[in-house]
Chains A and B, each alone.
Chain A
Amino acid sequence: MSASPTRLPRLLVSLAGALLLWVALYGVLQRAATWLTRDLLGLDASTHLASAVEFFVFEVPKVLLLLTLVVFGVGVIRSFFTPERTRAILAGKRESVGNVLAAALGIVTPFCSCSAVPLFIGFLTAGIPLGVTFSFLISAPMVNEVALALLFGMFGWKVAALYLGTGLAVAIVAGWVIGRLRLERHVEPWVYSMAPGDAGLPDHRTTWEERLGCGLDAVRGIVGKVWPYVLIGIAVGAGIHGWVPENFMASIMGRGAWWSVPLAVLIGVPMYSNAAGIIPVVHALLEKGAALGTVLAFMMAVIALSLPETIILRKVLKPALIAVFLGVVTAGIVLVGYLFNWLL
């Protein structure tokens, strides 16, 4: 490529500088938020307003910092994976192993929802089973890096790991179930008549400079797009944090209300928001006594199942298969919700 090799060291130095700045900023956030609220604005710490303002000025920079770091990291990691390579790994794998691999690769393979159809056709014509293909298509949106970063930032690593683990589990099991149901006849017939094979171009050799560039592009693209949602989400969260009384949510979204999980999922499925807007709200709800399982199920339903993607997939799937896909994933999310409410 035309990029001169001398640019890499300079890029590395500026990235190292940015990382140092990141660490320094992250370290002073809590003190800065307290100082800003109590000393600069002179708010009385015992008031609702002070508590809401402090929540906002602490969470906004924290979430944006975490988001930037994680999105950059994921962007660089993704430059090692391509749909073509993933397909080569999955082709010829047995079904159960294939489901697990497909779900894992779904997280790291770069993929935008508008390439869902070419990818679906490419996988099937390469002989990858329908169920394995679905494991991939379910895990890709479900285990979302923005959600992961926010959950880690607001709830700690345990909840983030739970989200990752159960998201993978739903993708693996739902794909496996779809495979067992033998639904191949509900794929539009023209899909199987497409010529198999690949474009026959040699793999593009990606340089480290390009990989780091992928990370920066991801930050520019994703953080640049979601920051208003983060702001709105945290503002709503701050309101709940400051004014909604303790345990208010317990009766509606608490563990005692068995119907709350399916209801949360049913409300969440048609909603299509991004993780950035939904998680700060979720965080505040949880503080007021909502159960983690209910809240996690709601969040997964909002993020994983989106109307636009379903409409795109209609080109290759008959309605019966779309219904099964939506049904199996929804059921999986409801189960996750109950599991958590029961476990924790």
Chain B
Amino acid sequence: MIRIEILGPGCANCERLYRNTERAVKELGLDCELEKITDLNVIMGYRIMSTPALAINGELKFFGRVPSVEQLKEILS
């Protein structure tokens, strides 16, 4: 089971990334756990400065941007 974390304190961009990821996951038919991480200590644990960011199974994939659903599908698969 894959665990996807959306990292960000919860502003509009973080919400946008969450929705895009949700759609990408649905369109790919992935079996995964999608989680919003707003805890700063966890976010800073990934050593990032710009949010939102996305991590899969604890591995950071990108930060500081909101990719499109198409781009996310490529990253996730």
A→B interface (CB under 8 Å): 1-3, 82-84, 87, 110-115, 117-119, 121-123, 194-195, 197-201, 204, 221, 312, 315
Contact = CB atoms under 8 A, between A and B. Distances in A.
A199 B13 contact: no
Given A2-B74, A115-B50, A204-B62, 8 more contacts: A2-B71, A82-B64, A112-B12, A114-B14, A118-B40, A122-B48, A198-B47, A315-B40
Nearest to A120: B49
Given A84-B49, A204-B62, A118 B71 contact: no
A115 B8 CA distance: 8
Given A2-B74, A84-B50, A118 B44 contact: yes
20 contacts: A1-B71, A2-B70, A82-B64, A83-B50, A115-B8, A115-B9, A115-B49, A118-B9, A118-B44, A118-B50, A119-B50, A122-B48, A195-B47, A197-B47, A198-B48, A199-B60, A201-B61, A201-B63, A204-B62, A312-B9
B74 A118 contact: no
Most buried by A among B9, B12, B14, B49: B49
A118 B62 contact: no
B9 A121 contact: no
B17 to A, nearest CB: 13
B73 to A, nearest CB: 8
A122 B49 contact: yes
B44 A121 contact: yes
B51 interface: yes
Interface string B51-65: 100000000111111
A9 to B, nearest CB: 20
Contacts of A194: 44
A116 to B, nearest CB: 9
Interface of B: 8-14, 40, 43-44, 46-51, 60-65, 70-71, 74
Nearest to B74: A2
A84 B40 contact: no
Closest 9 A/B residue pairs (Cβ): A122-B49, A114-B11, A114-B9, A83-B50, A83-B49, A199-B47, A118-B49, A115-B51, A119-B49
Contacts of B46: 199
A105 to B, nearest CB: 13
B67 to A, nearest CB: 9
A342 B59 CA distance: 57
Given A2-B70, A117-B40, A201 B60 contact: yes
Contacts of A122: 48-49
Contacts of A204: 62, 65
Contacts of B71: 1-2
Contact of B51 (A82, A114, A195): A114
A118 B40 CA distance: 8
A200 B55 CA distance: 13
Contacts of A114: 8-11, 14, 51
A5 to B, nearest CB: 15
A111 B51 CA distance: 9
Contacts of B11: 112-115
A265 to B, nearest CB: 28
Contact of B64 (A1, A83, A113, A197): A83
Contacts of A312: 9
Contacts of A195: 47
Contacts of B47: 195, 197-200
Contacts of B44: 118, 121, 194
A281 to B, nearest CB: 26
A198 B60 CA distance: 11
A118 B50 CA distance: 7
Given A114-B9, A201-B60, A87 B40 contact: no
